[in-house]
Structure 1
């Protein structure tokens, strides 16, 4: 909508349009990738439409775009406020306690883990595997593993692992199967990318397209147990987009409403290139440049990952 030749018309958000959006998943505004080189055209549109407040909603890519738009606005000497609202289920933005969508994502991931556990227990040497989102940060997987004590192996991008060898995933999985007769694996999409053959592709935003770790692990696990002459029943569940498009849970609904209100207040007060953040349970303004200066990761030496390891009882390291 901010590009002049966009096929999507501008929408006036009046009470009739937004009256029931809290009951819907996804976004009524739509979503996009790429277009980062067209900042000048976006600012042209803001001028043409006489817009003096721009609120951007998204993750690190959106916020980098918002920063660039703010810089172009300053260069032109325009009086347009740019305020960011953090929206990413990955929860990987710095200087933010939690980004909205994350709480709902974990809530939605739990039923998939329950299903995987049920299927695993019902099969001979059953293995239930669930893949969730998390390209570079494994917060969804880690929090879901804490919410469900049924997870036996939680694999995240921050904690590399080997497949083969005495201390590799496959050996530990075999020991679990022989001891308990079933296992549940929860894997973030960005985990184990050093093991997966590279795709050599990039998306519209320039991010490397990851190989599918879920399918890769499924094939490797089945091949391993075939060679070991151990019968297994592996069920693979990929709820990624179901999780992302779900209706917001009450915590996220409240959070969204308050973020929106604080964004409007910040812009009306003359703040610009600021991100609305919840930090230490207080709403604060964080310079967008700082929020995107580095990604937030699961600290594998910290208490969150320690608690995950205690819950899953997996080894602290699965490297040989």
Structure 2
């Protein structure tokens, strides 16, 4: 039996460890399997580039548990975006990328494919299964949900998200000290999260929690108020900038600084409308997603707030790459191990789907059918811990 692995989309603190634990789970069956990894996600599948997992890899798989990124590489390729696949040289004009990918799996005699990625990665895998079934080729695909945004429906916790939140909080523990470099500092910590504010919210929660473990010395201006978060902006909450300016002005006058956690997708429709009204074209990726790194939401907010707050210094720092590149923490490793074990059990039973804690089934770790997998899950702003946090920082 031949097993193939594929990681796709942006990286997250779970990819290497997922491959490691999947290898472990197959070894624990007591049987021998041929294993390959397609290089750079669906790009490798389209171009026929793969690497064999030799006996040394299988013997030393635990090394992978301590690394971030993916040993076999990632890419952002959408198999149904023919134009983009042609432009990047993955297929020739007249070729169908879905068909080409399917034929490569047949050529490689793959029985089981493990896709580790977000909703796009795994729903594309479902398209492959369907296409191959029509060609009378039985392929089992069992995916694992990877996204630091934690926005896959109906999965409670995507792999790597806990670690990314922890790392984002750690990032700000250092950056916040920049409030001592000038008077009237405005610090904007821009966190990844296109449609879902979970990562920003949970990062803020972990950071504020860490302040309770620190000893401050307000007599010499080292006060918890100056090191605290003063605003959290996420896509799920409409921001009234006029009200926020009035609130934050008081904080600036009192603390000589304002610290903001900003989800990159917060208020993005307003920002895009403003850019397009000026005649500028907004760039998008192969999936039709706006390229947020080029729009620079943090800079937009700094312009809106900086002048009103009479900031002497404005600092915008993005923690995204720092956070998503981390190796997984223990909490994530435990979930990755359990998920990988269940993935292998279902794969050997020829059950295709995505492994995750099913929110529509009491959060039970299950093999969820592909047709139930969707993206853009919104963060639950009614979460008790989040509302406690907003009250604590004076935003509610």
TM over 0.5: yes
Structure 1 residues 208-235: Cα deviation after superposition (integer angstroms, max 9, x where no partner):
223211111223333334xxxx353322
Structure 1 residues 233-262: Cα deviation after superposition (integer angstroms, max 9, x where no partner):
322211211111111112222222222221
Shift of residue 207, structure 1, vs aligned partner = 1.5
Q: Distance in 1 between matches of 2:46 and 2:135?
A: 23
Q: Distance in 2 between matches of 1:97 and 1:70?
A: 25
Q: Distance in 2 between matches of 1:190 and 1:4?
A: 30
Q: Distance in 1 between matches of 2:356 and 2:191?
A: 25
Q: Distance in 1 between matches of 2:55 and 2:142?
A: 22
Structure 1 residues 185-210: Cα deviation after superposition (integer angstroms, max 9, x where no partner):
00011112133225522102222223
Q: Which of 351, 367, 372 is equivalent to 1:290?
A: 372
- Given that 2:201 and 2:232 are in contact with CA atoms closer than 8 Å, whether structure 1 keeps it comes out as yes
1:132 aligned onto 2:191:
yes
> Size of the alignment, in residue pairs?
306
Unaligned runs of 5+ in 2: 1-37, 81-96, 209-227
1:208 aligned onto 2:290:
yes
Aligned to 1:106: 165
Structure 1 residues 134-183: Cα deviation after superposition (integer angstroms, max 9, x where no partner):
000011100011112222101101112133x3x1x322221211133222
Q: Runs of 4 or more off by more than 4 Å in structure 1?
A: 2-8
Question: Please, which moves more after superposition, 85-94 or 247-256?
Answer: 247-256
Shift of residue 5, structure 1, vs aligned partner = 8.2
Q: Which of 263, 269, 272 is equivalent to 1:194?
A: 269
1:159 aligned onto 2:237:
yes
1:1-320 mapped onto 2 (5 Å cutoff): 1=38, 9-17=49-57, 18-37=61-80, 38-121=97-180, 123-149=182-208, 150-163=228-241, 165=242, 167=243, 169-196=244-271, 197-198=275-276, 199-210=281-292, 211-225=295-309, 230-272=310-352, 274-279=353-358, 280=362, 282-292=364-374, 295-315=376-396
Distance change >3 Å, CA 268–CA 106, structure 1 → 2: same
Distance change >3 Å, CA 5–CA 309, structure 1 → 2: closer
Aligned to 2:8: none
- Given that 1:298 and 1:304 are in contact with CA atoms closer than 8 Å, whether structure 2 keeps it comes out as no
Give the RMSD, CA atoms, in angstroms: 2.2
- Given that 1:94 and 1:296 are in contact with CA atoms closer than 8 Å, whether structure 2 keeps it comes out as yes
Report SS of the residue matched to 2:249.
helix
Distance change >3 Å, CA 201–CA 3, structure 1 → 2: closer
Normalised TM-score (structure 1): 0.88
Report SS of the residue matched to 2:73.
coil
Structure number having the greater helix percentage: 2
Normalised TM-score (structure 2): 0.72
- Given that 2:196 and 2:378 are in contact with CA atoms closer than 8 Å, whether structure 1 keeps it comes out as yes
Report SS of the residue matched to 1:20.
helix
- Given that 2:355 and 2:365 are in contact with CA atoms closer than 8 Å, whether structure 1 keeps it comes out as yes
Distance change >3 Å, CA 205–CA 179, structure 1 → 2: same
- Given that 1:120 and 1:234 are in contact with CA atoms closer than 8 Å, whether structure 2 keeps it comes out as no
Shift of residue 308, structure 1, vs aligned partner = 3.1
Q: Distance in 2 between matches of 1:243 and 1:87?
A: 14
Shift of residue 79, structure 1, vs aligned partner = 1.4
Shift of residue 19, structure 1, vs aligned partner = 4.3
Distance change >3 Å, CA 265–CA 195, structure 1 → 2: same
